[in-house]
Each structure stands twice: as structure tokens, then as C-alpha cells.
Chains A and B, each alone.
Chain A
Amino acid sequence: MKRVGFTTTIPVEIIFAAGKVPVDLNNIFITDNDPSAMADFAEDEGLPRNLCAWIKGIYSAVKSGAVDEVIAVTQGDCSNSHALAELFLSSGVKVHTFSYPFEKGRRYEALKYEMERFAESIGTTLSEGIKYAEKTNSVREKLRILDKMTTDGLVTGFENHLWLVTSTDFNTDHVRYEQELDDFITEASQREPAKDGLRIGFIGVPTIFSDIYSFIQGRGASVVFNEVQRQFSVPSVSDDYVQRYLEYTYPYDVFGRIEDISTQISNRRLDGIIHYVQSFCYRQIQDIIMKQRLECPILAIEGDGPGSIDNRTKIRIESFLEMLEAKK
């Protein structure tokens, strides 16, 4: 079966319906034994040093032959991934495109049309994709349960991150993924809930730091919300497949995200928010709006290459937690 890589979350059921294997290229990069070497490889090939590490990692993942075809998200991700698609095209890689409509007016129709066009490009139809979703609906429901268990202190912030971030391609096999998820939920539901401490939420793209969750947990705080990872799991409960991807906040404007985060701040009783931004990413600009509009203390931190958290970031996180503790 052909392996189809993608640069950010897309309606994955359409790929399954086409009889192909979906592969989230971000996960290939970050779960590699040596992700730094992948970023270095991209730089050796001429990609700028001052470029988002995820773009470099995706580039190297495709170049290493991890996938047969690529889906580039040309609206709703970033202009870097747009240029990346052009690099792939230029080197003969088969590229499909998918674009989330930015315009609010007639967004439903535009998204539905885009899904139909994309399905055709990949060798199936939207109706087949919708039919296939009957097989993944139960997985998504279980992911919502897992997310609730995180809020209840039964699942750690890191486990939540890992499950939700890998739901973009269900680790390429949704049947096995569901079985493993069942086992995990059974195990986690027998745990003692975590002790009361600071309740922290992560917003922004998943962090590139491998140890940030254990660092925060080691200081007596719990991460009970991973904004973008949760969105990656497409948490909408709508019966309408197109509508679910309309409610998926990540690819659209920042205001939809802010609405979602605000709801979660109160539902999950967050004490503070850590806004992770990737070096050289346009989303850094959105931090200004986040700080203006969200009613919760926010710390912005920045990461570049994969690896452990640096001392400067540690100081910021520790001070932030201390401040929140003193406020409580």
C-alpha cells in the first residue's frame, strides 16, 4: 500500500478510504532516533538555518523515502510548507494539495468542495471518506474520554500529548491504535487521581522539547490541557463530517482558537497557560493577541531545535510556576 505523508492534520479518513496509509511527517521527524541529524541534513541541502525546525524535519523525512506521496497543506498551515511542496514537486515527488478555506463566508461549502477535490486527487470520493469515518468514530470518542481523564488527573499531560498528537495518522493503523488506546484507558482508569497542584495548559504547536512535561510535573504542577494536540484529534461531536473539520480551530484564524482556549480555561480550571512558539514561526505574532484576550496568566516560551529544554527556558517556567503558586 502506498504511504502518503502529510505536513499537518488533514481529513485522514479520506486517505484510508483511498486504500493508502497516512503518515504524519511531523511524527516521523520527532520520533526519529536522531531528529537533530534530520534538521542538519535539511540545512546541508540548503534550507535556511533560520527556518522552523519542523519544516526541516519534514523535508528530511520525505527525502529519506519515508513516504511515496505527499499532501501539502497550502492554506491553514504556513507559507513555509507551501514552499516545501514546491521543493518536492521540483524534485519529482508526487504532491497532493489540501487547503482550509480562510474566508468565513460560505466556509462550509468551500471546505466541502475542497474535501471532494482532494479525495478525487488521491483516488477516492468524499462519500467514501465519510463512510470510512464510521470505523474511526469510536477512536475519536475514546480520545475525548482520554482527554477528560487528563482533566480529572488520571492521565498525565505527556500521555495526553502523545496520544492526541499521534491521532493525526493513528500511527498509520487505526485498528491497532484503538486496541492500544483501549488498554491504556483501562489501565489509567484504575489509577489514583493526581494530587492537587497548579493546573497548567499548553497552547500553541506541540513543543519540540522532549522533557518539558516531566520538568513541569517535577515541580508539582500538572498539564491538563494541550490545545493544539487536542484539536489535532478533531474533538468535534458533530455527526456531519465536513462540520467537524470546520470546528477544528487550528487552520483558521486565531479568534476561533481563542474562543476554544477560553472555554477550556474555565472548564479545566487552569491556573496558568504556557504558550509555546516555534522559532521563526509566524504564530509568534499571535502571542500578542493571546495575551490581550485570554483571561489567564500566560508565559510565552520559544524553542528551536529538538532536544532538552535549555536553562533560559527553565528559568522562565520555574519563575512562572512560582508566581502562580504565590497567587493561589
Chain B
Amino acid sequence: MKIGIDLGSRFVKIAVKTNDGVEFFREDTVFFYKNMVKRENGEVIIDLSSYGAEAGADIVATGYGRNMMSFANANVISEIKAHYKGALIATKEEEFILVDIGGQDSKVVYVRDGYIEDFVMNDKCAASTGRFLENACRIMDIELSDLSTMTKDPVKLSATCAIFSESEIVGKIAEGISIEKIGAGINESISRRLFPLIRKYRNKKIFAAGGVASNSAIIHFLSKMSDSDIQVLSNPQFNGCFGCIHY
């Protein structure tokens, strides 16, 4: 048995690999820290028994959480390494670009000859990430799945800061602009922020992963801007933990 765990800022993703195949689980990050992480004699232990983990199972961890606590029962690797491996196995490609759009970070990894050639991450701003999408949906009182269908007539959102973007959205609603147009505007603004990260890789095969990759409107805008046909990995949100089980 091998277990991969991606301790993200919004969700903890778990891959359990047995002889029968790979099974995925997802938990809210705060719930996970409160209930699945135990401290024994000063050591931090991840309790994965509720996901069918056997005692002493081989655990590989990545994601934000790995730096906040030193796990006694897990090997720790960086997210770039985890996501790269996940995409390498899933795509079986030797040269490609991986765009991972997560809850708090976006990263672009350039893989050449099967190895990481370069990577770039977004600047210190959450305005291009999943957490902003969640907040925007909350303000507009819609589901993330609704938002991911909105691509028509995007309204222009100009605030550079995620917090000010929220008040800008409220303003647009007050102006009587339709939720569909505002939603399309949010999707486009996220894509516009991500585009500079992949701009120089336009002519390569691009794959998308991370929770936000499930938003097909963002993939649509990003594909259009980069003039490429961006493919979304299957189980995009689990790419990191999937990569972990291959170390």
C-alpha cells in the first residue's frame, strides 16, 4: 500500500494505492487538521485509518501543510515535484507544460525530456486562485459549477486585489449587470492573470491540473489567450497526491 497526500490550502487530497488500483479522497483542510492530525509526544502523526490506510503504510506528503509541521510518519516532497510526476505518469508525455491552479497558488511547470526544465509560480496575490473563485460565488450566491459555464460577454473587472475585486463584483450587481456576465468577467480576469505565466510556452502541449482546472470557462479563456488547446488531466484536483504515490 502506498499513500500520497496533498495538503492544500483549501482541501487535503489523498490517493490510496493498493493492488486493486488507486482510490481518491478529499477533505476540507481545516476539518483535516482538526480531526486527522494528532500530536503524540511532540511528534505530528497523520491518521489516515479512515481512508483504509494500514498502520505503517508508506506515506508521501506534499502541499502547504508539509512546511507547517514536520510529519513523523511521512516522506515530504515539494509540490512542483509531486505535480510534475503526476502529470508525467498521467499524460505519458516527455515534453509538456503543466498549469496547476490551486486554492492559493498557481504554478506552471515546463517538462522536457521527462525532467523539470523550469517552473514559475504566481506572485504573492490570491486574485488568480480558487479561494477567490469561492468568495466570488458566495457573493453572487451561485455554485462553482454554475460559474464554470459562464463565458459570454465578460464584464471588465479591473481591481488588482482579490478583496477589492469582491467589492467590484457587488458594484456590478448593483449596476444591474447580469450574473452570467459578471461570472464570465471573473473567469476571464482569472485567465488574464494566469496567462503571463504560460505566455512563453504557447506553442507547446499544455495540460491543466488543480481544483480550478475543473472550471471549463477558465480553460476556455486561457486556451483562447494562449492560442492552444489546453487539455485538463483526468482527476485534476488529485494530480498532486497522485504524483506522490509514484515516489
Pair A319/B105 contact, Cβ less than 8 Å: no
Count residues of A near B (Cβ-Cβ below 8 Å).
16
- Shortest Cβ gap from A219 to chain B (Å): 10
Which of A30-38, A116-124, A126-134, A308-316 contacts its partner? A308-316
Q: Does B230 contact A (CB under 8 A)?
A: no
Pair A318/B68 contact, Cβ less than 8 Å: no
Pair B81/A315 contact, Cβ less than 8 Å: no
Chain B residues with CB under 8 Å of A319's CB are 78-81, 119
Q: Does A256 contact B (CB under 8 A)?
A: no
Q: Does A77 contact B (CB under 8 A)?
A: no
- Shortest Cβ gap from B5 to chain A (Å): 16
Which of A55-63, A233-241, A320-328 contacts its partner? A320-328
Q: Does B144 contact A (CB under 8 A)?
A: no
Q: How far is the CA of A320 from the CA of B77 in the complex (A)?
A: 12
Most chain B Cβ neighbours within 10 Å, of A304, A322, A323: A323
Pair B115/A311 contact, Cβ less than 8 Å: no
Q: A302-B124, A312-B105 are in contact. Are A322 and B64 (CB under 8 A)?
A: no
Q: Does B88 contact A (CB under 8 A)?
A: no
Q: Does A197 contact B (CB under 8 A)?
A: no
Pair A315/B119 contact, Cβ less than 8 Å: no
Q: How far is the CA of A248 from the CA of B214 in the complex (A)?
A: 52
| Interface of chain B: mostly helix, strand, loop or mixed | mixed
Q: Does B143 contact A (CB under 8 A)?
A: no
- Name the contact of A315 in the complex, choosing from B67, B115, B116, B118 (C-beta under 8 A): B67
- Name the contact of A312 in the complex, choosing from B115, B116, B124 (C-beta under 8 A): B124
Count residues of B near A (Cβ-Cβ below 8 Å).
17
Q: How far is the CA of A304 from the CA of B125 in the complex (A)?
A: 13
Q: How far is the CA of A236 from the CA of B117 in the complex (A)?
A: 36
Most chain A Cβ neighbours within 10 Å, of B68, B105, B124: B124
Q: Does B157 contact A (CB under 8 A)?
A: no
Q: Which residue of B lies closest to A310 (CB)?
A: B124
Pair B67/A323 contact, Cβ less than 8 Å: no
Q: How far is the CA of A327 from the CA of B117 in the complex (A)?
A: 8
- Shortest Cβ gap from B59 to chain A (Å): 19
Contact with A along B44-69 (1 / 0, CB 8 A): 00000000000000000000100110
- Shortest Cβ gap from A211 to chain B (Å): 13
Q: Which residues of A contact B (CB under 8 A)?
A: 279, 297, 302, 304, 311-312, 314-316, 318-320, 322-323, 326-327
**A–B Cβ pairs within 8 angstroms, 15 of them:** A302-B124, A312-B124, A315-B78, A315-B79, A315-B80, A315-B105, A315-B121, A316-B121, A319-B80, A319-B81, A320-B119, A322-B78, A322-B81, A323-B116, A326-B116
